[in-house]
Structure 1
Amino acid sequence: MGMSESLDGGMSFISENTLNRYQLYIPSCKSILDVINFNGTEEMSSLYRYVVHFSSQDKDIAAESILRKSTTLTMGMGKLSELTARKMVHGIVTSFHRISGSKDQAIYQIIIEPFVALLKNQFRTHRFFINMSVPEVVTQILQEHGLKDWEYNFDLVMEYPKREQINQYQESDLVFIERLLSEVGIFFFFRLQPDAGTEVIYFADKQSAWEFGKTLPLNSPSGMNDNGIDSVWDIQFQQSAVQASVTAGDYNHRQAQKILFSAQTDMTYGEGDEVTYGDVYHYRPRHLETGDKVSPAPETGNFWARLEHERYLSSQATISGLSTDVSLSPAQVLNITESTPVPTLPASVRNSLLVTAVSFSASRKEALQVVLMATIYSETRCWRPPLKPRPVISGTLMARVSSPKKNDEYAHLNQSGLYWVKFDADRDEKQQGYESMPVRLAKPYGGDTYGIHFPLIQGTEVAVAFHEGDPDRPYIAHALHDSRHPDHVTQANHTRNVIRTPANNKLRMEDKRGEEHVKLSTEYGGKTQLNLGHNVDAGRALRGEGAELRTDDWVAVRGGKGVFITSDRQSEASDRMLEMKNAAAQMVQALSVSDALANAADIAQAWPADSDTAKALNTALNNLTQPGIVLNAPEHISISSPKSVRLSSGSESVGLVAGGNTDISVMKKFTAVAGEAISLLALKLGIRLFAAKGKVEIQAQDDGIDTVAKKDITITSVEGKVLVTAADELVLNCGGAYIKLSGGNVEIGCPKNILLKSISVQKLMAADYDLPKPELPKGFNDFFIAKDEDSGEIMPFVPYRIKTGEGNVYEGVTDAEGKTITVYTAQPESLDIELL
């Protein structure tokens, strides 16, 4: 048996037993309930609410049989003997009140509301919906409360976008969904499902969702018989001056260059100029695009502007009246007809009206009265519910930085540097690492790919704030330490200022007086560190003072304009960074010594030192006017290595200048090779060339040897022979006397006497004595000049590589004249020359 059949049967029972037009049917309550009076209100985008008083001979009706139970209030019309159910209101009892009791009966009061009224009892301080549209959020909540898909219906012309995040904050489920629907202009109303006899909630955003075809005559029953025909009367028409236009503005940080201002929107299209006034400007950061001016997509700037103006226009005209028609309901389009020749209603009211609210009241004593509220129906704009205020979040919410990777040791960011967080208050299951919309991190400094950003790692506690308190616009305000992630500055090191990353990259600044220091370090390279000031170890024991740059890997010091290394004291940085007067004085002194000795060498006809290069070096290095390196100390400098040490100049001179001695001590071989010449000059104490063991060999492989002394020359062989050999001629000369050996002859001559002191002189046959001549080495050498193949121009300072036939490789840079180094080979051979 259907609900309507049961109601008809119940109506017959009531009419036969109580003569009451109004029946209250609560299946869970077995007591007979007799309606005394009721009043109810039904309104667009609001829950209907009926307050019913009834009596019962059961003076102790249990609340368990009434509260939250399915209830139907039926309004019967017609003769008492032939009542028909004209209107049925189904809902649940949300309030039960025993008002009074007597010997015969008790008086009770109940409130009937739709089932969704119970959603106000489900309160959430926090809930977070991710990547869902408004209709999807509403659907999810309704389904969570057990509503079946036929108990609600969405009739939408718009396709609403998924929002990155929608937050429910300090709201019941009912208040939350009412707010969401009002924001996007979706209205709702209720109808009775005829088969089930229960309410269905309809959600819509267009005029076609309303019920059309309702017509009532204008006819007041006052003092007259209405012949049982429903009508309306006492029509009142109120109009207000509302806003003339709306402009919406916004800012989208993902497309910061875009200006998101809507057009100035007038949904009357100029027809309301005489009765509207004022432009409303809303800067509500809730849209990502401006949208089309004519047909804007949902939740774009122009959409919000149109929607807001439709809200204002929805309250511009209000029509109220009385009626006897119990079938009036919100979301009906009503037409009022007049039978008089001259219309009595304003022209606007004679057109279609949209019923926005209806109230019903009746009692055993008073007939049913219907009060309606309506507004003018429009084909060009839709009625919109008033905007419900968004809650405002004061302060911050706690959350944890999230990542899809368990125990992720690196930050989980999107391509714009935004994070995902999991709010501590979030109880819903979500995909790990994506529990929120991508949120920005507030920073103390930022700009175009510059700023301060220390990536936040999974599990880091953060305080999430909200732009203007808007629950749907979160951002990370700051990070916090907790017991699982303790602070790195505590009472134990309260004098230190520390920046430390998860990998222990660290900038530490110690402020303890007398122990100030700065440490910049990384674990890579066996603790690569720059330590400044009072340097301590891990136990805070002093390990040095001053500055230290250390690593177990490589260190490179590069100055494109020059490098100055000195141990000259400059107290408290009181002078210029490149102040080098002491170093310059040392260079000038060295040049003076070099010049003086060069003059002496010139006088002695030795080759002087390269003074020009030394002067150019001083000019270039003084204040580092050219890229160079100055190494200076007021006391001593030591360069040492267990392996090779090398000083080299690619194309100019290497000068060693000492005001005292220059000592060269070599445990093995000492070699000096000059491509052109070697000049040694001792100005005072002479030259000593000793070989403690082994030969002393002196060769002029391509020329002669001149040995000159102002005084004696002594040649002595202590234990062996002295051999003097000449290929062509040997002459001994002194005081005009001579002995000449040449061509196998010995010629002796003198201006005076030849004294031959000997025991005997023998003349024998001819004989000769030839000593083998040492074979002098011969080699080949040459240098090359680099020239451009096309122009033939000399190419100075160009890198080159020379490879000999024996496989030797020489690399260098051509000098100012384009010359390479001189290459020496034992035999004539071809060379490969490559300019790099």
Structure 2
Amino acid sequence: MSSVKSLLFSHNHHLLSVKGCEAGLDVLAFEGDEALSQPFRYRIEFTSADHAISKEMMLMKAASLTLQAPVAQGFGINVQQPVRVIQGVVTGFERLSTSRDETHYALTLQPRLALLNRSHQNAIYQDQSVPQIVEKILRERHGLRGQDFLFSLTKTYPRREQVMQYGEDDLRFITRLLGEVGIWFRFTADTRLHIDVAEFCDSQQGYEKGLTLPSVPPSGQQSAGVDAVWEMACRHRVVEQQVSTRDYNYREATADMNAQVDVTRGETTTFGEAYHWGDNYLTAGNVHDRHPAPESGAFYARLRHERYLNGQTRMQATTSCPTLCPGQVLKVTGGEEVAGEFADGVLVTAMHSHARRDADFAVEFAGIPDSPDVGYRPEPGARPVMAGTLPARVTSTRENDTYGHIDKHGRYRVNMLFDRARWETGFESLWVRQSRPYAGDTYGLHLPLLAGTEVAIGFEDGNPDRPYIAGVLHDSAHGDHVTIRNDKRNVLRTPANNKIRLDDERGKEHIKVSTEYGGKSQLNLGHLVDSDRQPRGEGFELRTDSWGAIRAQKGIFISADGQAKAQGQVLDIEPAVSNLAEAREQMMSISGDAQKATANPADLQAQITLLEQQLTDLKKSVLLVSAPEGIALTSGEHLQVSAGHNLIATAGKNADVSVVKNLFIGVGSALSVFVRKLGIRLIANQGPVQMQAQNDLMALLARKEISIVSTEDEIKIIAKKKLTLNGGGSYIRLDANAIESATAGEYRTKAGYYGRQESASEKVKMPVFPVMEPGEHSLRFAFPGADSVSQSMNWLINQPYSISDSAGKILSTGTVDTSGRFPKIVLPESDTLNLIIGRETWSKEELSVSSTEDDSMEDFEDEAPDADLHLSEMGFEDDRTSALTESMISTLLSLTKDS
């Protein structure tokens, strides 16, 4: 370690001091470069009698270079006065040469901010403005305190959702951020604390003004020892006339994000347009505002144009003034050699100073004109271009979240794997969009990602501040569900094991759609296998362990008819309709024979209507089931077949109905059984056989013999009033008072014993049969507010009307009275009524009067027998959907006008 003590007094023009170094340091020469928004750099050569100055004594030590004014010639003691102190830290040290008397050294003096280029970081900053990000880095990462830097800003900068530092050193990163928003910085010295201070400014208010120097060439006869300026030069060039910016903010996708600014307001020495895309702003801003909102489109357009205008006029000169520094405005006085730009003031933006023991101090500086309209705007440096993607993991605010953590726009938060910061769980990034293969207005393909899922983060236009999820990846902690074990399968599976599986194994192709709810519900198509991949069938299977429903409003067609390779129309119901048509022909033939035999014929019209107007092409909401070789319906308990109108069953050969216990056939009107050929056999092996016509006659008629036989007991033929037996004209008639027998031929009586006794009779208790009266149905046509509406509808009053049933039978006619009501129609059974109003021919217009609600017949059952039900009473309380609506009345009105 050096043991040479520094001298208490030095005759050097410039003084070098290094903290902790006691050796005398004699400045031999120095060169310094200073510029706005750049750390200064001074290389100082010095000599010292201490030959043992080491790098440990120099590097990272606080140091200062003091520039002193020359000693004035005169009487008395002359002391050099310091005029400027450059404070910083030693970042470089050189040992150049050594002699017996001294050693030649050199060091590099820079501000502490220059050390930031040794700190290379990858980090995320959220919900902070640019000044806040810079302050965070200076304070938390590099330990600077409030006295080490100063923000002298005139604007309030908005907080950014997220800013990413990737592969940049801290100096480059903060310089770029500050330059992007027009903030520049310079360095001053705090001689009291012996520190360098970084000052950040964003407008002309940060300029240091007041320095004025004359234009005098360096000469001992002319300068008179006064600092001056010489070698002045101005260079002008044509720059961009205006700047246009455009961006896209997906949060306001339809917003106009265009901005166009001309700071010079039409200056003729500029030309062209500079169009910039993607400055990463959220609002367009006001282009007419001289001070637009920070970080808006107009703000960036104005900033860029000011930066172009900074290059319109470049000025340079040389001076001997040691107090000159970047950020100062210098005015030069003099004659014609002083250009107007120098006389008006030049903002010093960069300078190179140098001095030696054998050469005077001089400064070559460069600058731009001082202007109230155009401020200095530093070049921000190129933003890193993110090539490729970066790995990250989806996060959630809940630990072990079973669902995707997304916001109202379907975005995610992710944890960039390079980020070492400790964030609150679920807040590691801004909300990030996901790139998807299909998207649109509330439609697309979105499979929510769970926390922990690895994603590949891409960047719009390579901008690190505009990330998005470009893809999703499997990793060792989240294995792929399709591997070499099942490489023939294409599988979409959700975390809850909802699954779509498409197996491409040749000859065993199949599709499976499955969910775990309700035990398991599945749709299986093709080659069906179990969980062990063993065959369990082929074709298709729709199954569930819970409830199931098949619903189609227009109709359903279920068929086992062949249609190989799907070659044919979906609703090709020709085989089914052909079978039904054939059955109809058979029914028509049998029904015709039945009618000839005086039996009641089948309701063929209903069958024709069903086939032609409903089943064919599924014109109505029907269910058609067809199988060329058989259909079986079975139930472990009950099987019910119900029809609101007709129940039709036709068999080309046999129809078998087997009932183990009881069979009940209930008929509301008439039962007609017709057999064309082999007769009817009613046999009861056990129990009685009863046939009753409880309230009307019974007739047994046969072309041939009628046999009544009791093999083990008696035969009783009982008539309450009279019994007549007639054979070939001979008869026996029995009533309560007489027995009459007659014949046109012989009358023989054969008996082993023939006796005559007193008169007698046997009273027989006749059964009493219940009498069931047919139920009546009543309906009255009306519409809500008929009384008031009809008064304003003169066309309705006194108009003729007719009411007919579904068969066309006229039930009531007349004219509409002033009440707008029609007579009550009473029918023995339910039917469809048709109402016609008017005298002339009407075009048909179908008006729906059925309720849109799930009406129940209980509404009618709860009414009194003589209640006058209106159409509007078919719905629920306050429900008028069953009444004649305004649209129906409007239709009636238009029809009336047409007639």
Counterpart selection for 2:731 from 734, 738, 741: 738
Instruction: Tell me the residue number matched to 2:631.
Output: 637
Partners of 1:758 and 1:175 lie apart in 2 by 143
2:159 pairs with 137, 158, 162, which one? 162
Deviations 1:290-317 (A, max 9, x none): 0012142111100000000011111221
Q: Report matched runs for 1:574-585 at 5 Å.
A: 574-585=567-578
Is the Cα contact below 8 Å between 2:69 and 2:83 reproduced in 1? yes
**Alpha carbons 1:127, 1:426 under 8 Å: kept:** yes
Distance of 1:788 and 1:531 partners within structure 2: 53
Distance in 1 (alpha carbons) for counterparts of 2:745 and 2:492:
102
Does the 8 Å contact 2:215/2:338 carry over to 1?
A: no
Aligned match for 2:9, one of 7, 14, 33? 14
Q: 1:269 to 1:11 in 2, by over 3 A?
A: farther
Per-residue deviation, residues 5-32 of structure 1 (Å, max 9, x unmatched) = xxxxx999333xxx21111111211211
SS, match of residue 613 in structure 1: helix
Once the two structures are superposed, the pairs formed by residues 94-493 of structure 1 within 5 Å of their partners are 94-124=91-121, 126-143=122-139, 144-263=141-260, 265-270=261-266, 272-273=267-268, 275-293=269-287, 294=289, 295-338=291-334, 343-493=336-486
Pick one of 525, 528, 544 that aligns with 1:532.
525
Give the aligned partner of residue 725 of structure 1: 718
Classify the secondary structure of the residue corresponding to 1:13: coil
**Closer/same/farther in 2, CA of residues 778 and 210 from structure 1, 3 Å limit:** same
Check conservation: 1:621, 1:630, Cα contact below 8 A.
yes
Q: Alignment partner of 1:731: what SS?
A: strand
Q: What SS class does the counterpart of residue 696 from structure 2 fall into? A: coil
More divergent stretch after superposition (784-793 vs 766-775) = 784-793
Q: Which moved more, 1:60-69 or 1:234-243?
A: 234-243
The question of whether the paired residues in 2 share the 8 Å contact of 1:90 and 1:192 is answered with yes
Work out the CA distance in 2 between the residues paired with 1:326 and 1:831.
Answer: 118
Alignment match of 2:616 (pick from 617, 622, 625): 622
Q: Which amino acid aligns with 1:170?
A: G
Secondary structure of 2:518's counterpart equals: helix
Q: SS in structure 1 opposite 2:777?
A: coil
More displaced stretch, 312-321 vs 343-352: 343-352
More displaced stretch, 65-74 vs 727-736: 727-736
| Structure 1 residues 304 and 693: alpha-carbon distance in aligned structure 2, compared to 1, 3 A threshold | same
Residues 251 and 626 (structure 1), Cα distance of their counterparts in 2 relative to 1, 3 Å cut: same
Cα distance per residue 1:612-648 (max 9 Å; x no partner) = 2222222232333333222222222211111111112
CA contact (8 A) 2:555 2:623 kept: yes
> Which amino acid is the alignment partner of residue 153 of structure 1?
L
Per the alignment, in what secondary structure is the counterpart of residue 349 of structure 2? strand
Say yes or no: does 1:37 pair with 2:76. Answer: no
Deviation at 1:795, TM superposition (A): 12
Give how far 1:815 is off: 5.0
Query: Counterpart of 2:278 in structure 1: which amino acid?
Result: R
The 3 A distance-change label for structure 1 pair 108 and 815 is farther
Q: Hey, what's the Cα distance between the residues in 1 that align with 2:805 and 2:151?
A: 84
Aligned with 1:647 (options 641, 645, 656): 641
User: Could you tell me which residue of structure 2 aligns to residue 710 of structure 1?
Assistant: 703
C-alpha deviation, 1:786, in angstroms: 4.3
Q: Which amino acid aligns with 1:564?
A: F
Q: Is the 8 A contact 1:787 1:795 kept in 2?
A: no
Task: Report the equivalent of 1:542.
Answer: 535
- Superposed, which structure 2 residues align to 1:666-815 within 5 Å? 666-758=659-751, 762-790=755-783
Tell me the amino acid that sits aligned with residue 725 of structure 2: L
Alpha-carbon separation, structure 1, partners of 2:123 and 2:856: 80
Tell me how far apart the structure 1 counterparts of residues 378 and 347 of structure 2 sit (CA, whole Å).
13
Alpha-carbon offset, residue 320 of structure 1: 1.6
CA distance in structure 2 between the aligned counterparts of 1:239 and 1:193, rounded to whole angstroms: 38
Percent identity reads 38
The letter for the 2-side match of 1:185 is: G
Which structure 1 segments of 5+ residues have no match? 1-9, 798-812
Which residue identity does 2:348 align to in structure 1?
A: V
- Structure 1, residues 334-363: CA drift from partner, whole Å, max 9, x if none? 22223x5xx442223221221222332111
Match of 1:587 among 563, 572, 580: 580
Task: State the alpha-carbon separation in 2 of the partners of residues 315 and 131 from structure 1.
Answer: 34
Q: TM-score, normalised by structure 1?
A: 0.91
Q: Do the aligned residues in 1 keep the contact of 2:513 with 2:523 (CA within 8 Å)?
A: yes
Amino acid at match of 1:835: M
1:504 is paired with a residue whose SS is coil
**Stretch moving more, 193-202 or 301-310:** 193-202
The SS at the match of 1:636 is coil
Q: Tell which deviates more after alignment, 19-28 or 716-725.
A: 716-725
Confirm or deny: 8 A CA contact 2:279 2:300 kept in the other structure. Answer: no
Whether the aligned pair in 1 keeps the contact of 2:7 and 2:24 (CA below 8 Å) is no
Shift of 1:145: 0.6
Q: Distance in 1 between matches of 2:332 and 2:36?
A: 20
Residue 507 (structure 1) shift: 1.2
Distance 1:821 1:140, change over 3 A: closer
1:796–1:815 CA contact under 8 A, matched in 2: yes
**Per-residue CA distance 1:733-780 (angstroms, 9 max, x = gap):** 234333323342223333345444446655544433211111111223
After superposition, give the CA deviation of every residue in 1:547-566 in whole Å (9 maximum; x if it has no partner). Answer: 11111112222233322222
- In structure 1, give the amino acid aligned to 2:405: H
Q: Could you say what secondary structure the match of 1:770 adopts?
A: coil
- d(CA) in 2 for partners of 1:190 and 1:379? 23
Structure 1 residue 182: Cα displacement? 0.5
Partner of 2:51: 59
Per-residue deviation, 1:424: 0.6
Number of equivalences: 797
Moved more, 441-450 or 553-562: 553-562
1:835 to 2:874 alignment? yes
Report deviation, 1:577: 2.1
